[in-house]
């Protein structure tokens, strides 16, 4: 019985093996009959067999990004974009070359966030100086390398306030702790009231290359980018040098304190001259160009919103309407407010906008009298100052107050715009009058309706 069971098992195994062989021969036969399927299988095996090595291979590049000059929204956008591109291209790392006296804290924070979020190492190389906001960016890097003679620090916020100092020094502490550096030294760069051992009391921390090396705030002191590459083990990679393009440079130039103040001063002076000149001339064109450069720089830098420009244009329109309406009322005040708000919020920060506008208004107040003294004449400022003498040979006469009473009911013609004051002619004689509140253009026939002393009131003759 046992022998029969063994025999049955052997037969079953033999039949199973025969069946498998038959299936294998049949399957292989079918595959061989379809070479396209076989080719696809081979390609898939090759592709799926080596995915990791292909995708993990680096580009063999290191980006050298230059941060040279004031840290503005334009510079922030440029630097963060280059770090992003380096990550997308699979670069081995980024060398951020810094030479700056500082700039806007909010722009510096955008760059520090980009450094912290980068999947590849971002190395800061201080070529000359990393002051103020530049020091904040440097502390965010895992590796800091300084050139001989360079320094970093002095990051006290301007304008100074206890709240601003606390916030900035807190950022320095946070970044220093994250990178394993002494947070007290970092905070001392922004807060001079901290007692930092080894530094004078009441002064901001500013580290030379040698001091930074001793205190662990630089990993090496090297003279060139090539030495930096060798130090980091990147001596066999391709260096991709990146410099700010014309757009970034233009935005940097136009949004700086000095240039924006000059542009606003020119625009305001030219606008005032144009307002008090007949027709549209060169001052008006100069004003438009200066305002366009002021707002255009903000748009290029990315810190100006469309609403500020629209508000500014609306203010100008309201201001023009005011000139066509007698008196100084809602249109004029609303226009001035809209223009001021538009100018302020077109700047990188409202504080910079207020400062720039204040400087420009003060400069305009000083320069306008000087320009009048130098160039004042029959064309320039002709409507700011009375140039004609009211003499008898030109039709002007002097009368006592009682003699004007007989003018009531008489008609004349306006020889100047009445808005509401102006000049009319009655029987060949000129009189300074006031309209009844409406704007009257030159040539309008008017009638005298009231006389109060030397005050003559007229209305349009219907």
The tens digit of pLDDT for each residue in 422-438 reads 889 988 888 888 888 78
Kindly state whether residue 114 falls inside one of the protein's structural domains: yes
Residue of higher predicted confidence among 13 and 126: 126
Task: Say whether both 86 and 198 belong to one domain.
Answer: yes
Kindly state whether residue 386 falls inside one of the protein's structural domains: no
Task: Say whether both 265 and 358 belong to one domain.
Answer: yes
Q: Does the pLDDT at position 278 exceed 90?
A: no
Q: Which of 263, 39, 56 is nearest to 271 (CA)?
A: 263
Q: Which of 209, 244, 279 marks a domain boundary? A: 244
Task: Say whether both 77 and 143 belong to one domain.
Answer: yes
Computed over every residue of the chain, the mean pLDDT equals 80
Task: Say whether both 364 and 433 belong to one domain.
Answer: no
Q: Does the pLDDT at position 462 exceed 70?
A: yes
Task: Say whether both 81 and 8 belong to one domain.
Answer: no
Kindly state whether residue 51 falls inside one of the protein's structural domains: no
Kindly state whether residue 53 falls inside one of the protein's structural domains: no
Task: Say whether both 70 and 176 belong to one domain.
Answer: yes
Kindly state whether residue 147 falls inside one of the protein's structural domains: yes
Kindly state whether residue 438 falls inside one of the protein's structural domains: yes
Task: Say whether both 179 and 297 belong to one domain.
Answer: no
Kindly state whether residue 265 falls inside one of the protein's structural domains: yes
Q: Residue 422 sits in which domain range?
A: 392-460
Domain count of the fold of the chain: 4
Residue of higher predicted confidence among 207 and 277: 207
Q: Does the pLDDT at position 248 exceed 90?
A: no
Residue of higher predicted confidence among 231 and 52: 231
Q: Does the pLDDT at position 2 exceed 60?
A: no
Q: Does the pLDDT at position 378 exceed 70?
A: no
Where residue 112 sits, what CATH number does that domain have? Answer: 3.90.226.10
Average of pLDDT values for 114-118?
A: 95
Q: Does the pLDDT at position 360 exceed 70?
A: yes
Task: Say whether both 284 and 214 belong to one domain.
Answer: no
The confidence score (pLDDT) of residue 399 equals: 53
Average of pLDDT values for 116-124?
A: 95
The confidence score (pLDDT) of residue 93 equals: 94
How far, in Å, CA of 440 to CA of 322, rounded? 14
Residue of higher predicted confidence among 69 and 117: 117
Task: Say whether both 322 and 401 belong to one domain.
Answer: no
Kindly state whether residue 50 falls inside one of the protein's structural domains: no
Residue of higher predicted confidence among 276 and 201: 201
pLDDT level of residue 327 (50, 70, 90 thresholds): low
pLDDT level of residue 328 (50, 70, 90 thresholds): low
Task: Say whether both 271 and 327 belong to one domain.
Answer: yes
**Which pTM value belongs to this model?**
0.62
Q: Which of 346, 375, 404 marks a domain boundary? A: 375
Task: Say whether both 85 and 221 belong to one domain.
Answer: yes
Task: Say whether both 305 and 211 belong to one domain.
Answer: no
Cβ(355)–Cβ(248) below 8 Å: no
Tens of pLDDT, residues 144-180: 999 999 999 998 887 778 888 899 999 999 999 999 9
Residues above pLDDT 70, as percent of the chain = 79
């Amino acid at each position: 019985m046992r022998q029969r069971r063994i025999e049955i098992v052997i037969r079953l195994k033999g039949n199973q093996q025969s069946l498998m062989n038959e299936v294998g021969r049949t399957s292989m036969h079918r595959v061989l009959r379809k070479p396209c399927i076989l080719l696809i299988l081979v390609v898939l095996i090759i592709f799926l067999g080596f995915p990791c090595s292909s995708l993990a291979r680096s580009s063999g590049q290191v980006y050298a990004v230059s941060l040279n000059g004031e840290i503005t929204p334009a510079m922030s956008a440029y630097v963060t974009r280059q770090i992003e591109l380096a990550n997308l291209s699979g670069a081995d790392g980024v060398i951020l070359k810094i030479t700056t006296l500082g700039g806007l804290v909010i722009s510096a924070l955008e760059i520090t966030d980009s450094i912290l979020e980068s999947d590849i190492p971002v190395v800061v190389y201080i070529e000359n100086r990393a002051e103020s906001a530049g020091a904040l960016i440097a502390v965010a890097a895992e590796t800091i390398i300084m050139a001989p003679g360079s320094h970093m620090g002095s990051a006290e916020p301007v304008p100074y306030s206890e709240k601003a100092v606390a916030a900035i020094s807190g950022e320095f502490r946070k970044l220093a702790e994250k990178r394993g550096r002494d947070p007290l030294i970092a905070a001392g760069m922004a807060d001079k009231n901290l007692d930092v051992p080894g530094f004078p009391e009441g002064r901001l921390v500013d580290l030379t290359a040698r001091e930074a090396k001793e205190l662990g705030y630089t990993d090496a002191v090297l003279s060139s980018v090539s030495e930096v590459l060798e130090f980091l083990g990147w001596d066999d990679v391709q260096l991709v040098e990146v410099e700010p393009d014309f757009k970034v440079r233009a935005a940097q130039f136009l949004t700086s304190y000095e240039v924006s103040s000059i542009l606003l001063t020119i625009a305001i002076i030219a606008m005032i001259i144009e307002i008090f000149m007949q027709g549209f001339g060169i001052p008006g064109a100069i004003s438009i160009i200066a305002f366009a450069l002021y707002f255009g720089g903000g748009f290029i830098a990315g810190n100006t919103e469309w609403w500020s420009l629209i508000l500014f244009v609306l203010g100008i329109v309201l201001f023009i309407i005011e000139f066509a309406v007698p008196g100084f009322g809602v249109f004029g005040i609303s226009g001035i407010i809209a223009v001021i708000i538009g100018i302020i919020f077109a700047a990188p920060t409202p504080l910079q906008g207020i400062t720039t506008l204040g400087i420009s208004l003060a400069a305009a107040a000083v320069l306008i009298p000087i320009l009048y003294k130098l160039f004042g004449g029959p064309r320039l400022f002709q409507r700011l100052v009375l140039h004609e003498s009211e003499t008898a040979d030109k039709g002007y006469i002097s009368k006592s107050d009682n003699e004007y009473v007989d003018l009531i009911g008489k008609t004349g013609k306006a020889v100047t715009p009445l808005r509401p004051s102006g000049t009319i002619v009655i029987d060949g004689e000129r009189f300074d009058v006031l309209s009844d509140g409406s704007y009257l253009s030159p040539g309008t026939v008017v009638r005298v309706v009231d006389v109060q002393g030397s005050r003559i009131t007229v209305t349009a003759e219907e």
